[in-house]
A = this chain, B = another copy of it.
Amino acid sequence: MKYTIEDVAREAGVSITTVSRVINGNYPVKKETRERVEAAIKKLNFQPNPLARSLINKRTNSIGVVVPGLTNMFFTEVVHGIERIMRSRDYDVYISDSRGRADSEKRRINKFLERYVDGIVLIDPQTENMKNGFIEEVSKKIPVVCINGYHENVRTNFVLSDEEKGTKEALEHLISLGHKNIAFIRGESSYSYDIKENLYKEYMKNIGIEPIVITVQDGNNIDVVENTMRVLIELSSKYQLGKEITAFFACNDLMAVGVLNGCYELNLKVPDDIAIIGFDNIILSQMTNPKLTTVDQNMRLLGERAAQKLLDLIEDKNLYSDTDVIETKLIIRKST
Contacts and interface: CB of A to CB of B under 8 A. Distances in A.
A11 interface: no
A29 interface: no
A95 interface: yes
Contacts of A264: 289
Contacts of A95: 94-95
A222 B285 CA distance: 12
A50 B115 contact: yes
A227 to B, nearest CB: 12
Interface string A66-77: 000011010011
Contacts of A79: 70
Contacts of A51: 51, 54-55, 60, 116
Nearest to A56: B51
Interface in A9-60: 47, 49-52, 54-55, 60
A111 interface: yes
A295 interface: no
A8 interface: no
A71 B75 CA distance: 10
A97 interface: yes
A141 B111 CA distance: 27
A83 interface: yes
A251 interface: no
Given A51-B116, A115-B50, A287 B73 contact: no
B283 A222 contact: yes
* A-B residue pairs, 5 tightest by C-beta: A51-B55, A70-B76, A222-B283, A51-B54, A95-B95
